[in-house]
Amino acid sequence: MHHILSNLRIDINSSLFLKDPESSPLGQKIIKSSIDLIDHHGIEDFNFKKLALEIGSTESSIYRYFENKHRLLLYLSSLYWGIIEFQLVLQTNNLEPGMAKLMKAVETLFAIPQTDKLSFSVEGKKLRHILNAEFVKAYHNKHIDEQNKKGYFSIYKRVVLRLSDIIIEVNPEYKFSNSLSSLIIEGSMNQYFLSEHFHNLTDCHSEDNLYVFYKDLLTQTLKI
Amino acid sequence: MHHILSNLRIDINSSLFLKDPESSPLGQKIIKSSIDLIDHHGIEDFNFKKLALEIGSTESSIYRYFENKHRLLLYLSSLYWGIIEFQLVLQTNNLEPGMAKLMKAVETLFAIPQTDKLSFSVEGKKLRHILNAEFVKAYHNKHIDEQNKKGYFSIYKRVVLRLSDIIIEVNPEYKFSNSLSSLIIEGSMNQYFLSEHFHNLTDCHSEDNLYVFYKDLLTQTLKI
DNA sequence: CAAAAGTAATAGTATTACTATCAATATAGT
DNA sequence: ACTATATTGATAGTAATACTATTACTTTTG
């Protein structure tokens, strides 16, 4: 039902899975190997048959953990945003409101999620790559409203709203904090994607460039 | 091979179709009805069987025009961006470089594509809705690099670069014009999407709000 | 009016996503 | 050690989808 990270727990909506993957070696292998496979071949070329082959199990066994691969992607997304949220809080909650805090938050949002204290082994770099490449597919889907109601995106939404709060602290007069927050977060995933596939549509080919781009954008936009 | 718009032609990459849909009544019905159906039910619930039923034809007949539904989506995307590009040029090429020109460009990018001078009937509002909802799926796909090489996204890319050029005119010192342009364009589609499905993650629930949000963002960011 | 092109009708294949059933194995409690 | 229970493996099968193939009918064109 949740991941333990030191003594902090990441609560993943339990209706995303049929059986908690953390609770067994097979479940843990499912998570670990699905990240490897999706990272390497993309979600479209990924299915439970291939995953079963990879971990030396069977399709039917995997179906006992997840209803389908889309739920698994939502699980991985929640895991990712849960770690990011934890890091965001950890890095910023003791800082004074202001641009320095906001930029610390932005930096944290792009950082590789720290997975070493998770109860099972997950490669943070691969997890981030999956999210950058595939997260849009997690919500651009015909069941979005129904799934949203069930809370499958709540961690992600909380992250957007937390960044929005930090924006508001910088400039309480600013009227578009939610839009700016979502623009920044969605935008960063998209800029990664562009850098990989439509190289000349972005100037940000490294985290550093993206950081500078956003720092300038935010500093100018939120000037009082 | 192209759409006639007064005397301007929108060249759509001819390898996107097997047989030009403009060239026959059936082809025109395919375009018109696919827009209606995708607009109404989304791309996931759309297939050539349903389309055939809708227009009183057969699956095999439709397959003579398009290899698959993804190509059809790419065709519709090219049609959309082609119209937008035309409008963008029309509205801005006689303006003096500067913020007024940039904001005119931004306004044009969100506007409903004018389809009345097209050689066949297409509802601009529906076409825009499809793009806002489904365009990400046109390029978040495992064949992206191969398709990009074939030029399936060239009109879209040209639009991003045109906006980037207008940004540069405002402030020639600005180092992130490509990123800013793609952020604006992708962002606007995303803000529409958020307004529809994750209401509280955006403050832009109308074109006017989005315009104000961007105007402020751009004015501040590009200040010399 | 004949040739050609375009379309309809029908059937069929391959793949994918998912379900059902039952046997084998491991684990836990007594 | 023995039984009940949970977990996984093995196998088969279903339904839907995306796409292909073939043939016949209809319309257009020279």
Domain map (residue ranges) of chain A: 2-221
Alpha carbon of B112 to those of B55, B108, B139, B207: distances in Å?
26, 8, 22, 11
Task: Identify any residues that bridge with B4 across adjacent strands, giving them in sequence order.
Answer: B9
Quick check: B199 contacting A, CB < 8 Å? no
- Give the pLDDT score at B2: 45
In a 3-state reduction of DSSP, which class is residue B2?
strand
* Dist. CA B1–CA B119, nearest whole Å: 12
Quick check: A134 contacting B, CB < 8 Å? yes
pLDDT-based confidence at residue A215 (cuts at 50, 70, 90): very high
- Give the pLDDT score at B5: 40
Quick check: B38 contacting A, CB < 8 Å? no
* Dist. CA A58–CA A56, nearest whole Å: 7
Quick check: B193 contacting A, CB < 8 Å? yes
Q: Residues A156-174: pLDDT tens digits? A: 999 999 999 999 999 999 9
Q: Residues A30-83: pLDDT tens digits? A: 999 999 999 999 999 999 999 999 999 999 999 999 999 999 999 999 999 999
Q: Which residue of B99, B183, B185 to mutate against A (max A Cβ within 10 Å)? A: B183
CB neighbourhood size of B223 (10 A): 12
CA closest to B180 among chain A residues: A202
Alpha carbon of A166 to those of A88, A90, A180, A184, B203: distances in Å?
11, 14, 11, 13, 16
Nucleotides of C under 7 A from a protein CB: 6-11, 16-21
Average pLDDT over residues A145-161: 97
Q: Which of B134, B148, B161 shows the shortest C-beta gap to A197?
A: B148
- Give the pLDDT score at A8: 55
* Dist. CA A213–CA A36, nearest whole Å: 31
Q: Is pLDDT of A14 > 60?
A: yes
- Give the pLDDT score at B121: 83
* Dist. CA A78–CA A72, nearest whole Å: 10
What tokens were used for B222? 């590009």
- Give the pLDDT score at B128: 97
- Give the pLDDT score at A121: 84
- Give the pLDDT score at B4: 38
Quick check: B146 contacting A, CB < 8 Å? no
Q: Check residue B35 and report its DSSP letter.
A: H
Q: B2-221: which CATH topology?
A: Tetracycline Repressor; domain 2 (1.10.357)
Instruction: Determine phi and psi for A213, rounding to 5 degrees.
Output: -55, -50
Average pLDDT over residues A129-136: 96
Alpha carbon of B135 to those of B42, B79, B131: distances in Å?
11, 12, 5
CA closest to A143 among chain B residues: B44
- Which residues have CB under 8 Å from A74's CB, separation 6+? A16, A138, A147, A152
pLDDT-based confidence at residue A1 (cuts at 50, 70, 90): very low
Separation between the CA of B29 and the C1’ of D22 (whole angstroms): 25
Measured at the CA of B178, the angle between CA B173 and CA B180, to 5 degrees, comes to 85
Q: Which residues of B9-47 are buried (b: 16+ CB within 10 A; e: fewer)?
A: ebebbeebbeeebbeeebbbbbbbbbbbbbbeebbeebe
Q: Check residue B6 and report its DSSP letter.
A: T
CB pair distance less than 8 Å for B142 and A45: yes
Scanning residues 57 through 86 of protein chain B, those with a beta carbon under 7 Å from any atom of strand D turn out to be 59-60, 63, 67-70
* Dist. CA A62–CA B41, nearest whole Å: 31
Q: Which residue of A165, A203, A204 to mutate against B (max B Cβ within 10 Å)? A: A203
Helix (H) or strand (E) holding A5, with range, is: strand A2-5
- Give the pLDDT score at B116: 86
- Give the pLDDT score at B10: 85
Nucleotides of D under 7 A from a protein CB: 7-12, 17-22
A27 touches strand D (CB under 7 A): yes
What tokens were used for A155? 């961690």
- Which residues have CB under 8 Å from A80's CB, separation 6+? A113, A127, A128, A130, A131
Which segments of chain B have a pLDDT < 70? 1-8
Q: Is pLDDT of A3 > 90?
A: no
CB pair distance less than 8 Å for B182 and A176: no
Q: In the predicted model, what is the mean pLDDT of chain A?
A: 94
Give me the percent of chain A exceeding a pLDDT of 90: 92
